[in-house]
Amino acid sequence: MANGWTELEIGEGRDPLPVRVYPYATAKPRALVLYLAGNAFQPAGQPPEERPAARTLASIGAKVLEADYAGPEGVVFPGAVERAFEALKRLAACRRQFAGPRTSLFVAGDEAGGNIAAGVALKARDQMPGELSGQILLSPLIDPQMATASMREADAIGMRQRWSEGWSRYLQVACGYGHPYAAPCQCSRLTGIAPALIMTAEDDPLRDEVKAYAARLKLAGVTVHCQVAPAASGWANLFKGRDGDWTEAIGKAFSAFLDDLK
């Protein structure tokens, strides 16, 4: 049975934060993860289905909290990033409530949620340095230009128009298009960002923009684990919220990432 959503009072005097808490396999969590689900910048509406990637991170031993970052206006910049960042700040201040006082804090996301997670990681570098231990970006939708060679494959899985419309909704604010928190791939200063686990697949339409962002992070001196799953892994199910062999790849990569950061 899928875990439902609940409103948690995180932080004294704060408004309740809508989250889904995933159970974890160990008595002492290896990490505390804020998870941001993707839906082409559309409000997820707190869906009843668990996110397979978030559940996989929890199975490796992380305490995972999936936060609802949509506001009354929908998933629009800068509000979506601000709400996700507020959730991260609350977890950092109250991590003892969910894990231990020294448990490493991570932000993770898939597709549009990966974009928000990357923006939150940039904002964490600027406003709460040293608090974020890492970022986990699963096929992050980070390039609004949508001009890569691999993006031409998006029509084959029916995602190109959906992503194009999503970007139009998300970047309603005029300055959003060029803001690094909105489109991290356009950020000119990437030094000092938390280490990154970045994953894509050979048949992922987002492959080229994901690999390009990973390469730029490496050039900036950021520790990066970039993995490209084979085309046969069923990676496209990430966008549909379905299980598959791709989830096992995420679990192995996340475990190795945590070991490397010790």
pLDDT tens, 206-242?
999 999 999 999 999 999 999 999 998 899 899 888 8
Measured CA to CA, the distance from residue 230 to residue 242 in angstroms comes to: 17
Measured CA to CA, the distance from residue 62 to residue 26 in angstroms comes to: 8
Q: Give the pLDDT of residue 1.
A: 35
78 preceded by cis ω (within 30°)?
yes
Distances from the Cα of 139 to the Cα of 12, 80, 120, 233, angstroms: 35, 18, 16, 14
Residue 13: is its pLDDT beyond 60?
no
Which has the closest alpha carbon to 33: 262, 259, 258, 260?
A: 258
Alpha-carbon torsion angle 147, 150, 151, 156, nearest 10: 150
Strands (E) across 222-261 are located at 224-229
Q: Give the pLDDT of residue 45.
A: 57
Say if residues 65 and 47 touch (Cβ distance below 8 Å).
no
What is the CATH number that goes with domain 6-261? Answer: 3.40.50.1820
| pTM for the full predicted model | 0.93
Band (pLDDT 50/70/90 cuts) for residue 257 is: very high
Which has the closest alpha carbon to 116: 144, 75, 145?
A: 75
- Per-residue pLDDT tens for 112-167? 999 999 999 999 999 999 999 999 999 999 999 999 999 998 888 889 999 999 99
CA angle 2, 197, 195 (to 5 degrees): 125
Which has the closest alpha carbon to 151: 213, 198, 204?
A: 204
- Per-residue pLDDT tens for 52-80? 999 999 999 999 999 989 888 889 999 99
| Residue 223 or 174, more confident | 223
Say if residues 180 and 122 touch (Cβ distance below 8 Å).
yes
